[in-house]
Chains A and B, each alone.
Chain A
Amino acid sequence: MPLTLAVRDRKRSPEPPVAISRAASAVAVAALVALPGCDGIHITFLDPQGPVAAQQRTHFLIILGMMAIIVLPVLVLTPWLAFRYRYGKHNAYKPDWNFSWKWEVLLWGTPAVIVVVLGVFLWRNTIALDPYKPLLTSGPPIRVQAIGYDWKWLFIYPDLGIATVDELAFPVGGQLALDLTSQTVMQAFFVPALGSQIYAMSGMVTHLHLAADAPGRFRGRNTQYNGMDFAQQRFEAVAMRADDFDAWVQKVREAGPLDSRARAILAAQNTAQEAAQNLGVTMPLRFGSVPPDMFVQTSQPVAAAKP
């Protein structure tokens, strides 16, 4: 897997001061050197594949750079102080010295200034990268309704009338506009190489916007522990060229409908593979048609006990 180390989308990221950015890239390189090539699936925001992840990485590096102002002196001075003022060196001993305004101003001032600077970045980025807000820089939204099951994700494309399990395809140039809920316990939807994670909770709907810079495959998963096969609840997000996406949609349409039997099997505790087996179809598990109100039904507060 080729690694691109340059920070992409300079225009979109707040510009870090040069020195910090340089130190930060060094850290990033160090972190990425340890990252061996894998089977073409992007797994981390350190190797960002979309505008959100890229800004998150930049922000992350800015924080590391700013914090180095505190951390490096501590790492250097602590052993030096312990050595320089070791017992038995007779000069310089000042047992009653316990206060100096000069130091005091520096001690409270430095972290305060750093927090103010970081606070500005924090405020701007938190608002800018609000997962609920559509991405300004990416193209038209592809609406997807994600339902977390034990232990798989169902992705409904309401505008296309299709659904897939553990396979999230979308065209490059567009942006994923996700509505999320859970049919079971709390889950967290996360595609690190593209951007933010967000919880999916029963009886509630959360939202998330993601986009990719180029065609590619990205690891996605549930990060909130939900039992036995939690580890298997991973999926692939795939960004495709527009014509590939259309071909993919056509292929999905050929699959069987998401009927009540399929719903019952999905609602049971199983992985995507087991669900496909129980349905008597091969992976990937896809549905050519979906009841239009399925997501709304699932995400509504439950009035009576679920069976």
Chain B
Amino acid sequence: MTLHQFLDTAFGRLGWDALPFWEIVRHPHDGKAWLNGLIASGAASLVVFGALAVVVMLTRRRWWRSLWSGWLTSVDHKKIGIMYVILALVMLARGLVEATFMRAHQATALNDTGFLTPEHFGEFFTTHGTIMIFFVAMPFLTGLINYVMPLQIGARDVSFPVLNSISLGLTAAGAALVMVSLVLMPFSTGGWSGYPPYTERSFNPGAGPDYWIWAVTLSSLGSTLTGINFSVTVYKERAPGMHFFRMPLFCWTALCTSILMIFAMPPLTVATALLALDRYADFHFFTNDLGGNMMNYANLFWLFGHPEVYILILPAFGVYSEVFTTFSGKTLYGYRALVLATMCIAVLSFGVWMHHFFTMGQSAELNAVFGISTMLIGIPTGVKIFDWMLTMYRGQVRLTVPMIYALGFIMLFVIGGTTGIVLANPSVDYQVHNTLFLVAHFHNMLIPGTLFGMLAGYTMWFPKAFGFRLDEIWGRRAALGWIAGFVLAFFPLYGLGLLGMPRRLHAYVEPAYLPFTVVALVGTLLIVAAFACLCVQLWVSVRDRDHLSVRAGDPWDGRTLEWATSAPPPEYNFPVVPTVESKDPFTHEKLDGKALQSPDDWQDIEMPRNAALGLVLGLVGFLGCFGLVWYMWWLVVLAALAGLGAVIARSFTRNTTKTISADEVRAQYMEWLENVRALPLTVRSQESSRANNGRAMPVMKEQQ
């Protein structure tokens, strides 16, 4: 074997041209190549040096061991939830930077100018979409559900803790693949939906679409497993007395989302797998020739894609339900109607996928049927909006940070709903399909809808997870920044869409577009500032954590079970599995003076042991897919064997649980309880002040 053959085998099709500065080397006299090369190299060095910095810090602070045993191999649903949210926030930072570049580019792109090359712009909108959907929104909501749902139903963990960590591993592997594509370029330019035949080998032979395929495949597998895990948890792990109709609404939305995941993610996995077969094995599912038909892809993709938007929005609806009831000090209005509406949305979401391609040439009658079924979803959604408003009615509303997000959500979401109804009408959709109007619409659903919900949830449950509140002032700045930034960044896009500007456009000649793109850029910068406020908030809060401490665990006068335990909760969540007698159980306990009591029946608790399987499968998933992208077949084979070996080895592990003795549980709990009982009760006017110690006087008692 010559050296050349060896290198070919070892590196597959990976060559020098994958390096982000290669364009500069190839065109050293081209200013645009320099600029784009520098931007790409800057991003790549952020990835490389960021990773290096983390490694150095872990080594210097000697955190490797605790990272390994406390986090990476942990199967505790709370730790996994936190890791999901961290992943989401890191990826959110990248997605935002990409959005800023695109908006800056479009604001300078009149008369076919602009500073990004078309390829670079194409990669930007593809990674932005892929990241925001699969590696921000999905991990964020999966993390929140992971953390909160088992606590709310009074469970000790999810049903399949190791599977949970495998899901995290696979999702993180997908995210890592997208990050690595910054260093070894290129990523796909086919958009987040990856429509063939554009993404087929005959039109895009490079590594880009393969990166996209494998990143999305890993993430979709992780989400399918998550869906199974969560739904079984809701079905089987509820505490005694936690009937379905006593579950907090967040758990209902978690259940609906999980069911959607189970049925909606596989079509995506199938779609990307078939596309991979086309690209790798010369199949012809979606090619132009030999009987391939891309319409099949469109159907498969949106069979996933439409339920997906409800996967993204329902957990946020759950968070808003908790926020409105908690911060209005009032039981949720229309609980059963809200449950019914959630279920309606979940079911209807499978019957509307065709509205993503009204313009594909099917019959008008078919379009009309799907248009009407789409509008039907507006009914339960509208009901929800009014239910939340009626929850405020005759309440005690406190304008805390989650509440600011929630109010911003309601007012912006109805506008997004309106444009959704516009898009549901096929004959009008013929005018705004594929334009920035559509882009504005789905950002209007996903930012005020999903992201505000996730940020509200993050603010609300952060004190539960870490024992201290997040700084209120910086939180308000961030929330208002997000709201104002959203309005400025996306309302102009409605205008641009109505003026006929297509999405994914890297240059234009219409002067009418310019003012809109400039305002949108300003809005985007405001959103970046809001994100910076979130970072400052986190830093300030960690610094002042002693003053913000709420170890008693109930900073917001919470109504549901998770607030009854300490902050942060012990690994086993509850010293004794609670018995539930009503909806809003913790509120009733507090009012009846049954909160903070010491149980008399202590028992040993059996908890799952740490497992490295999730980490290993994530790692081999990443390596295997990396090998697939660059045709390093030896790596693919090795990774597959290692993954198989790890699963087999795990199946020989008999000792999968550990026991925490009743005495230890009792000692921990009694110590906490004594501390809490010594604390004064806080009233709601102190909620946002340092006097808030996490021991809440129920607002209902205050009012008596």
Whether chains A and B associate is: yes
A binding-site residues for B, Cβ under 8 Å? 31, 34-36, 38, 43-46, 53, 55-56, 59-60, 63-64, 67, 70-71, 74-75, 77-79, 81-82, 85-90, 92-99, 103-104, 107-108, 110-112, 115, 118-119, 121-123, 125-133, 184-186, 188, 190, 192-193, 195-199, 201-204, 206-207, 219, 221-232, 234, 301-306
Verify if B624 is at the interface (C-beta below 8 Å from A). Answer: no
Verify A87–B425 contact, CB threshold 8 A.
no
B395's nearest neighbour on chain A, judged by CB, is A85
Verify if B402 is at the interface (C-beta below 8 Å from A). Answer: no
Taking A74-B386, A115-B379 as known contacts, 5 extra A-B pairs with beta carbons closer than 8 A to each other, sorted by chain A number, are A45-B498, A95-B330, A111-B379, A195-B431, A303-B289
Verify if B571 is at the interface (C-beta below 8 Å from A). Answer: no
Verify if B495 is at the interface (C-beta below 8 Å from A). Answer: yes
Stretch at the interface among B159-167, B170-178, B304-312, B406-414: B406-414
Known: A81-B389, A127-B365, A232-B112. A118 touches B425 (CB 8 A): yes
B323-367: which have CB < 8 Å to A?
Answer: 328-335, 337, 357, 359-361, 363-365, 367
A32 to B371, CA, bound (A): 27
A93 to B510, CA, bound (A): 56
Known: A99-B334, A103-B390, A107-B337. A127 touches B202 (CB 8 A): no
Verify B378–A111 contact, CB threshold 8 A.
yes
A128 to B435, CA, bound (A): 23
Verify B427–A129 contact, CB threshold 8 A.
yes
Q: Report the interface size for chain B: residues with CB under 8 A from the other chain.
A: 101
B114-139: which have CB < 8 Å to A?
Answer: 118-119, 122
B202-249: which have CB < 8 Å to A?
Answer: 202-203
Known: A93-B703, A95-B330, A115-B375. A223 touches B198 (CB 8 A): no
Known: A34-B515, A199-B359. A56 touches B428 (CB 8 A): yes
Verify A304–B410 contact, CB threshold 8 A.
no
A39 to B313, CA, bound (A): 43
User: B382 touches which one: A81, A89, A111, A207 (CB < 8 A)?
Assistant: A111
List the A side residues contacting B359 at CB < 8 Å: 188, 196-199
Verify A132–B361 contact, CB threshold 8 A.
yes
A234's nearest neighbour on chain B, judged by CB, is B509
Verify B397–A81 contact, CB threshold 8 A.
yes
Verify if B23 is at the interface (C-beta below 8 Å from A). Answer: no
Verify B431–A126 contact, CB threshold 8 A.
no
Verify B295–A201 contact, CB threshold 8 A.
yes
Known: A44-B498, A107-B387, A223-B502. A86 touches B428 (CB 8 A): no
List the A side residues contacting B375 at CB < 8 Å: 115, 118-119, 122
Known: A78-B411, A188-B434, A306-B202. A94 touches B394 (CB 8 A): yes
Verify B122–A122 contact, CB threshold 8 A.
no
Verify B368–A97 contact, CB threshold 8 A.
no
Known: A45-B431, A123-B372. A97 touches B189 (CB 8 A): no
Verify B410–A74 contact, CB threshold 8 A.
yes
Verify if B392 is at the interface (C-beta below 8 Å from A). Answer: yes
A222's nearest neighbour on chain B, judged by CB, is B502
List the A side residues contacting B397 at CB < 8 Å: 81-82, 85-87
List the B side residues contacting A125 at CB < 8 Å: 425, 427-428
Verify if B7 is at the interface (C-beta below 8 Å from A). Answer: no
B591's nearest neighbour on chain A, judged by CB, is A95
List the A side residues contacting B367 at CB < 8 Å: 126
Q: Would you give the 0/1 interface string for B502-541, flagging 1 where the beta carbon is closer than 8 Å to chain A?
A: 1111111111100110000000000000000000000000
Verify B390–A301 contact, CB threshold 8 A.
no
A125 to B335, CA, bound (A): 38
User: B191 touches which one: A59, A123, A225 (CB < 8 A)?
Assistant: A225
List the B side residues contacting A93 at CB < 8 Å: 329, 394-396, 703
User: B425 touches which one: A103, A122, A185 (CB < 8 A)?
Assistant: A122
Q: Which 7 A-B pairs have the closest CB atoms?
A: A196-B430, A130-B364, A192-B500, A223-B434, A111-B382, A302-B289, A206-B361
A193 to B500, CA, bound (A): 9
